Amino acid sequence: MTDATETSGAPDHGATSDGSAAEPLVHLEVAAGIATITLDSPGNRNALSAQLRRELSSHLRAAVDDDAVRVIVLTHTGPVFCAGMDLKEALGSESTSQGVREFPAILELIWTSPKPVVARLAGPARAGGVGMVAACDLAVAADTASFAFTEVRIGVVPAIISVTVLPRLLPRPAHELLLTGETFDAARAEQVGLINRAVPAEALDAEVARFADMLARGAPGALAATKQLLREEPAVPMSQAFEDMLALSARHFASDEGQEGIRAFAEKRPAAWVPTID
């Protein structure tokens, strides 16, 4: 993204053992309506350490609250998207319980964000990293990326990430992949529903930009309502569901957004909410 600016009000990064400020592990930049959140702890394979979790949560909230942001892209530096929880920290029971409390909040922030979230993976995702990929609305990976639910192989359960993963995966592959812990490639991830596209590494940024551009053309309120619609499980008879959806449709047709979108279509111009690029 060009002309990107890093947001102010960055989260507290904590301190190193000698009392100096720790370097940030997550960055947020906003340009042309796109918020790019970058995991930047390559030496730790972008593992979900306490500092990284804290900064990621803060930047996600900032992006959601920023009216200038229309789409959020979650990406990374280094060869690995995210290796999951920081197992060095998980050796202590206190830090483990803290991570268990914090990580679901991050997944929920991504899942319930009224703004679409796109995962960009140039490298592998494991365990909790796969949970974040599943929480995103769309995911694009280089065809060299790989995935694995490694929890059972170290004696733990992929319990938390199952909340976001299971709605994405086909049932048979879900049983296979979560029970065996087998590593699978990006093509298989696309086949089973975990990601939307597996593309050559050199095409990754263009494909992410293509999705972000398409998403930014959607009306903010309509996108938020559609995301909520996609999250909800039908719990009423079909006749009642149709009545509810008719009411939802009518509200948005009559809304300011809906009327502006219809006018823009008729006048063959971009709608007012489409970001302009200087």
Alpha helix ranges (H) inside 113-170: 128-135, 159-165
Distance CA 193, CA 8 (A): 36
Distance CA 182, CA 230 (A): 29
Question: How big is the CA angle at 44 (ends 39 and 46), to the nearest 5 degrees?
Answer: 25
Distance CA 197, CA 141 (A): 6
The encoded tokens of residue 215 equal: 């998403």
Residues 6+ apart with CB under 8 A from 95: 50, 89
Amino acid at 16: T
Distance CA 58, CA 189 (A): 29
Residues 6+ apart with CB under 8 A from 47: 41, 82, 83, 84, 85, 86, 87
Alpha helix ranges (H) inside 141-185: 159-165, 171-180
Distance CA 185, CA 187 (A): 6
**Distance of alpha carbon 40 from its chain centroid, rounded?**
16
Residue tagged 């087998």 (tokens): 182
Give the active site residues: 151
